Amino acid sequence: MNYNFRQIEAKWQQYWTKNQTFKVENDSDKPKFYALSMFPYPSGAGLHVGHPLGYIACDIYARYKRHKGYNVLHPMGYDSFGLPAEQYAIQTGQHPAITTETNIKRYREQLDQLGFSFDWSREVRTSSPRYYKWTQWVFIQLFNSWYNNQTDKAEPIEHLTAIFEKEGNKGVNASCDDDTPVFLASEWNGFSEKQKQQVLLKYRLTYLADAEVNWCPALGTVLANDEIVNGVSERGGHTVIRKKMTQWMMRITAYAQRLLDGLDTIDWPQPLKDSQTNWIGRSEGASAIFKVIPTAPSNGESHQIEVFTTRPDTIFGASFMTLAPEHELVAKITTPAQKSEIDAYVEATSKRSERERMADVKTISGAFTGAYAEHPFTKAPIPIWIGDYVLANYGTGAVMAVPCGDQRDYDFAKHFDIDIPNIFDGVDISEEAFADKANTLIANSDFLNGLAYKEATRKVIEELEKIGQGQGKINYRLRDAVFSRQRYWGEPFPVYYDADGMPQMIAEEHLPLELPEVEKYLPTETGEPPLGNATDWAWNTEANKVVANELIDHKTVFPLELNTMPGWAGSSQYFNRYMDPHNAAAIYSREAIDYWQDVDLYIGGSEHATGHLLYSRFWQKFLFDRGVAPKDEFAKKLINQGMITGTSAFVQRINFEVDYVKSKSTVIGQTFGSNIFLSATNKIKEDIVIDKSELLKLDNSFQGLIEKIEQENNLEISRVRFDKIHVDISLLEGTSDSLNEEAFKKWRPEFNDAILLKENDGTFKVQREIEKMSKSKYNVVNPDQICEDYGADSLRLYEMFLGPLEQSKPWNTAGITGVHGFLKKLWKLYPAVDDSEPTPDNLKTLHKTIKKVEEDIENFSFNTSVSTFMICVNELTAQKCTSKAILEPLAILVSPYAPHIAEELWEIMGHTGSIANVSFPKLEVKYLVESTKAYPISFNGKMRFKLELPLDMAKADIEAAVMAHEQTAKYLDGRTPKKVIVVPGKIVNVVG
């Protein structure tokens, strides 16, 4: 009987669905385990072989934990709001909900054929109103909360108003806007409702603000910092400019310190933690206030500039100040003489895009305001400059420039010929700044002279505080997150604006506020977001009727917020929603989250380090503060699976460039495109331009070809350029590098009459290169095809076998025959299964395998356990093992990896019910006899040996083994060991 994987896999997939094998309850005598894979965005392209890697690993672990007696929650869902569906809608008019539905269907089919143990009854979709009701709900909770720095947690906003009513905001230590005014209780109580709301907005954890945002004109929306890569949009690579807009913001900065501290409590990969640490960017230092020296036209107003510095110890080295061009004081302090220069500079800077500004970090530019500030200690006047190397949105947007201690300040000073005083003892600063904190003492600095960095810093902060011009301060790079998107396909905000224009939350009992129908998915002509296209009746759908009625007050219809939430809104709590996904009364029940607590294992890509994974931690901490979640970190352990890359194929097309056409006048650099392709093993490997004579030197077979073309076209070829063109990997012969000529010519009409310059053996080789797997690179390998050819079990095993889970590795279908062969060999062991006694060899092989596989799964080294299985099966085959006592446990061992075949083998052995519910085999070390090895470990007078022995040998047996061991005996050289020291585990010290 052959291994008919198609039939077996279809059979068991149906069985699992029919019997709801993987449906899990929120209560059990067993311990709980929550294994989670990051849910996918269902794109139109479907899955390629790279996508399931993490799912397979997570599934193996989940199935393993189930065998180990855990109640395992292993859900799956879809992050189904997103830009591609919207873009498609803009192009075709197709409603994103429809595209999304189609894509989900396709994803589900593809996922189902891989045999995952998902509990599909718990599926969530972020774009479903039943789900986003709770995304809107969390938003409202954030709106109704403020961050109390005193208690270091989020609290209800009513607590804050109660304080305001009694004592104003003087004693309140909260995370709030910098421009929050100070008021007394009496003042607060006298405020109008609107004024109160305006003040509260400065405290709420989600708030409206005029923020300088990253505006992407091409996409018509704002982008968060993590959606911008190298100054252009992550999606589509469009230009991003800075623009001031009123936006909803998330006060994530309130949690900066706790987001840092929390990293110590979770088992996440160090690189990912580092990347979050970096992103939060904590720096310790001091803030210092420099008073601006009033100049004649300042009409009596006094100004001061607050700076943040990590080097307060160098304050006596400050010889100028630099403000960001956008700094609000710039206009106020600039002298009339300098006004035109400053205006021109500010104008020029604001025009530059983020990308331009990043592109030339080397150009030093700036302008002098004409104003001076007073040094807090020396009282010396310090010129105030502006320069775009100072960023408006970091620190206070102003720096005290210490050219001797900071390279940028140094370069700026050199460029504009500003004084560079040296305040370091015995350091040469004639060439560059001295930025080293250690290794020198402060000089020329009054009360700081002779002190080192640390003491000087402490001392100067003390002095600054004394004169009321500064204090120690911790600054974070992390900024509040923009939460508004000018898009259609996202969660609508549960917000309307009252008669005062103040934002009001829609009552919880009326949620969800559903997305209205629109005719166009583009922004409106007046520049409003796409939701502005919705007519009143569209908002007033059956679903939104109650909401609509609520909004009609005294014949006024209050306008709704027209922005939608960003992609990460829906993904920031989905992991908790799985615990109780159908709850219509709450985001999840207390019982459900008390039972499941948090995610035990989370597997997903590292690209979410500073996006989803940071925002989710933020929301989790918030919900923890407000008593909604029992844990303030949502995932105990996280693994980043590596990317499976594709192997792209390229052909080289020859393009001739001519400088001179004989029949006509001279044409410089004209390209004479050819349809001639060169096989890859010919010397040229890059997309390069080479001189004709160089080409002939490389390979003189070009001589005839070139001459022919020159004659036919009456021109002279000067240079040759090679274009590298992607070709679809399905155009190759099997898994080789040879191009199928016929298929290639048919692939694109323009290649119909292509001329292929082949190898001597008549083949045409393509060039291979490892790249990200993507449709546009024509290097996608489809899992459906693999399942068809080799089966899901082979695919699962092979994905694991490719290499370490966390590393990125290239896909190469050729190797799959190895694991497929293993499954066939495994299959062959079972038809003969009987009740015979296992031999010692059988037992040794089995228990060796149990030990290794168990260790491997616990360490997520799935690749090596596949090797272990292969060795096991080879050994058992050689041993002609037919014993049920061996083959039964083996089937269980294999089942997390290759569940379909395991179920079938289980049935063949006469069992009913799913193998997934069977206990993992128990390891018995007594069957493991390891080879004994001995090494001398020290020679100082005594002879000692380290000896590796089986784990559970009795002491007498160990002594006997030592004596019997050939190598040891050689070292002992006839002497009797005086003492044998047994170290628990496997090391024995023999003292000779």
Partner RNA sequence: GCCGAAGUGGCGGAAUUGGUAGACGCGCUGGAUUCAAAAUCCAGUGGUAGCAAUACCGUGUGGGUUCGAUUCCCACCUUCGGUACCA
| Shortest spacing between CB 570 and RNA, in angstroms | 21
Cα distance between residue 451 and residue 337, in whole Å: 42
239 token code pair: 């230009």
Nearer to RNA, 161 or 864 (CB): 864
Nearer to RNA, 59 or 227 (CB): 227
| Shortest spacing between CB 394 and RNA, in angstroms | 4
Q: Which of residues 938-957 bind RNA (CB under 7 A)?
A: 938-939, 946, 948
Q: Which of 933, 942, 978, 979 binds RNA (CB under 7 A)?
A: 933
Q: Which of residues 54-93 bind RNA (CB under 7 A)?
A: none
171-179, 356-364, 720-728, 889-897 -> range binding RNA (CB under 7 A): 356-364
Nearer to RNA, 132 or 412 (CB): 412
Q: Are 146 and 155 in contact (CB under 8 A)?
A: yes
| Shortest spacing between CB 274 and RNA, in angstroms | 4
Q: Which of 48, 204, 258, 311 binds RNA (CB under 7 A)?
A: 311
140-148, 181-189, 191-199, 934-942 -> range binding RNA (CB under 7 A): 934-942
Burial class (CB in 10 A: 0-12, 13-18, 19+), 572: buried
Total Cβ atoms within 10 A of residue 21: 18
Please name which of 739, 701, 695, 740 lies closest in space to residue 721, comparing C-alpha atoms.
695
Cα distance between residue 851 and residue 965, in whole Å: 25
| Shortest spacing between CB 742 and RNA, in angstroms | 20
List, in order, residues 6 or more apart from 336 with CB less than 8 Å away.
Answer: 297, 370
The string of DSSP codes covering 578-619 is: TTSTT-SSSSS-HHHHHHH-SEEEEEE-GGGTTTHHHHHHHH
Please name which of 738, 754, 757 lies closest in space to residue 683, comparing C-alpha atoms.
757
311 token code pair: 């080097």
| Shortest spacing between CB 387 and RNA, in angstroms | 8
Q: Which of residues 845-884 bind RNA (CB under 7 A)?
A: 861, 863-864, 866-867, 870-871, 874
Q: Which of residues 368-427 bind RNA (CB under 7 A)?
A: 388-391, 394-397, 399, 406, 408
| Number of chain residues interacting with RNA (CB under 7 A) | 79
The letter for the amino acid at 453 is Y
Q: Which of 527, 627, 704, 985 binds RNA (CB under 7 A)?
A: 985
Tell whether the torsion through CA atoms of 304, 310, 312 and 317 is positive or negative. Answer: negative
Burial class (CB in 10 A: 0-12, 13-18, 19+), 525: exposed
4 binds RNA (CB under 7 A): no
Nearer to RNA, 163 or 315 (CB): 315
Buried b (16+ CB within 10 A) or exposed e, 683-721: ebeeeeeeebeebeeeeeebeeebeebbeeeebebbbbb
| Shortest spacing between CB 359 and RNA, in angstroms | 9
177 token code pair: 């806007």
The pairing of beta strand 381-386 with beta strand 320-323: parallel
453 binds RNA (CB under 7 A): no
Q: Which of 46, 605, 818, 950 binds RNA (CB under 7 A)?
A: 818
Cα distance between residue 321 and residue 409, in whole Å: 9
227 binds RNA (CB under 7 A): no
Nearer to RNA, 639 or 717 (CB): 639
Please name which of 836, 845, 919, 902 lies closest in space to residue 877, comparing C-alpha atoms.
845
Cα distance between residue 258 and residue 262, in whole Å: 6
814 binds RNA (CB under 7 A): yes
557 binds RNA (CB under 7 A): no
Q: Which of 7, 20, 150, 278 binds RNA (CB under 7 A)?
A: 278
Q: Which of residues 774-803 bind RNA (CB under 7 A)?
A: 801-803
Q: Are 981 and 943 in contact (CB under 8 A)?
A: no
Please name which of 631, 538, 514, 561 lies closest in space to residue 266, comparing C-alpha atoms.
631
477 binds RNA (CB under 7 A): yes
Q: Are 884 and 876 in contact (CB under 8 A)?
A: no
287 binds RNA (CB under 7 A): no
50 binds RNA (CB under 7 A): no
Kind and range of the H or E run holding 9: helix 5-19
Q: Are 256 and 211 in contact (CB under 8 A)?
A: no
270 binds RNA (CB under 7 A): yes
Cα distance between residue 393 and residue 233, in whole Å: 20
897 binds RNA (CB under 7 A): no
Nearer to RNA, 106 or 986 (CB): 986
Kind and range of the H or E run holding 270: helix 270-280
| Shortest spacing between CB 816 and RNA, in angstroms | 8
Q: Which of residues 575-634 bind RNA (CB under 7 A)?
A: 606-607, 609-610
| Shortest spacing between CB 308 and RNA, in angstroms | 5
935 binds RNA (CB under 7 A): yes
| Shortest spacing between CB 888 and RNA, in angstroms | 23
List, in order, residues 6 or more apart from 361 with CB less than 8 Å away.
Answer: 389
Q: Which of 20, 92, 173, 363 binds RNA (CB under 7 A)?
A: 363
| Shortest spacing between CB 858 and RNA, in angstroms | 13
Q: Which of residues 821-840 bind RNA (CB under 7 A)?
A: 821-822, 824-825
The pairing of beta strand 666-678 with beta strand 644-661: antiparallel
* Spacing of C-alpha 155 from chain mean position: 30
45-53, 204-212, 270-278, 564-572 -> range binding RNA (CB under 7 A): 270-278
| Shortest spacing between CB 732 and RNA, in angstroms | 14
278-286, 448-456, 542-550, 885-893 -> range binding RNA (CB under 7 A): 278-286
812 binds RNA (CB under 7 A): yes
182-190, 243-251, 360-368, 712-720 -> range binding RNA (CB under 7 A): 360-368
225 binds RNA (CB under 7 A): yes
638 binds RNA (CB under 7 A): no
Q: Which of residues 691-720 bind RNA (CB under 7 A)?
A: none
| Shortest spacing between CB 599 and RNA, in angstroms | 23
| Shortest spacing between CB 344 and RNA, in angstroms | 17
Peptide bond into 512 cis (omega under 30): yes
81-89, 419-427, 705-713, 818-826 -> range binding RNA (CB under 7 A): 818-826
Nearer to RNA, 11 or 825 (CB): 825
Q: Are 672 and 715 in contact (CB under 8 A)?
A: yes
937 binds RNA (CB under 7 A): yes
Q: Are 900 and 12 in contact (CB under 8 A)?
A: yes
Nearer to RNA, 106 or 282 (CB): 282
